[in-house]
């Protein structure tokens, strides 16, 4: 459920207002990159993903049928912990299963199991046997795979791409630098298409792969409905 304004335990001094942004931000709850829907305090430059602003106190997940995940404001204990979905460190808000010891970033915990716009259908898997188009390896983290089984991307690899582009767009150009940041993710050379340069079907295939990547990125960023403005389709269709 979406509210225009909320109060939040992590930022009690001000009300947080809902807004939609095409500029990347760092969530002050889970400490991960976000885009699209967020709750924000403009006075303090404080941002929260939707999933972090209005969390579920406890959740279950189909990949871990025996687990019950509880929402925590910080990782338990003193030992460094990592997310079992993307394999990245957990340093802020977290869903934790006390009995199994599994951890999930809030946005990873809420990743849609299916992304489908009528043209591209992507399914989330705990493990897949085919190699990732980004790193070329199998296994590793959760993966999104296309229904045609031609495209596969680790959630961990998508997070790595986001971190690379985060530094490029957010820090080099300066936070909130306006139109220079409206082209959010320029992921040149991210995916290596196995096809040689040729005609119609290959071009369409690459365009579909670009759209698939676009869906996955917006889901990992915490808003599957976000429209990523970038040059993904351009560079892949010209591959």
Residue matched to tokens 């795979």:
145
Quote the pLDDT of residue 225: 56
Whether 19 contacts 53, CB under 8 Å: no
Question: Which pair of structure tokens corresponds to residue 26?
Answer: 């760092």
Residue with tokens 């960023």, as numbered in its chain: 221
Task: Extract the residue ranges of the chain whose pLDDT is less than 70.
Answer: 1, 117, 140, 162-215, 218, 223-239
pLDDT score of 163: 65
Beta strands of the chain (E only): which ranges? 5-6, 16-26, 33-41, 46-49, 58-61, 64-72, 81-82, 89-90, 94-96, 103-104, 114-116, 121-125, 143-146, 152-154
Dmax (CA) of the chain: 59
| pTM for this entry | 0.75
């Amino acid at each position: 459920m979406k509210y225009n304004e909320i109060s939040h335990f992590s930022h009690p001094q001000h009300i947080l207002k809902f807004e939609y942004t095409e500029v990347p931000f760092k969530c002050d709850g889970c400490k991960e990159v976000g885009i699209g829907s967020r709750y924000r305090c403009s006075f303090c430059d404080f941002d929260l993903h939707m999933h972090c602003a209005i969390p579920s106190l406890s959740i279950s997940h189909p990949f871990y049928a025996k687990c019950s995940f509880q929402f925590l404001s910080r990782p338990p204990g003193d030992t460094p912990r990592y997310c079992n979905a993307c394999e990245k460190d957990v340093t802020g808000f977290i869903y934790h299963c006390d009995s199994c010891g599994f951890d999930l970033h809030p946005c990873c915990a809420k990743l849609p199991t299916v992304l489908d716009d009528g043209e591209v259908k992507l399914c989330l898997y705990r493990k897949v046997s085919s190699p990732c188009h980004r790193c070329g390896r199998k296994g590793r983290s959760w993966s999104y795979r296309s229904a045609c089984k031609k495209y596969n991307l680790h959630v961990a690899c998508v997070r790595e791409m986001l971190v690379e582009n985060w530094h490029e767009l957010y820090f080099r150009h300066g936070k909130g630098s306006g139109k220079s940041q409206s082209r959010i993710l320029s992921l040149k050379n991210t995916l290596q298409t196995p096809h040689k340069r040729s005609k119609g079907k290959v071009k369409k295939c690459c365009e579909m792969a670009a759209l698939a990547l676009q869906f996955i990125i917006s889901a990992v960023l915490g808003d599957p409905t976000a429209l990523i403005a970038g040059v993904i389709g351009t560079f892949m269709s010209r591959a």
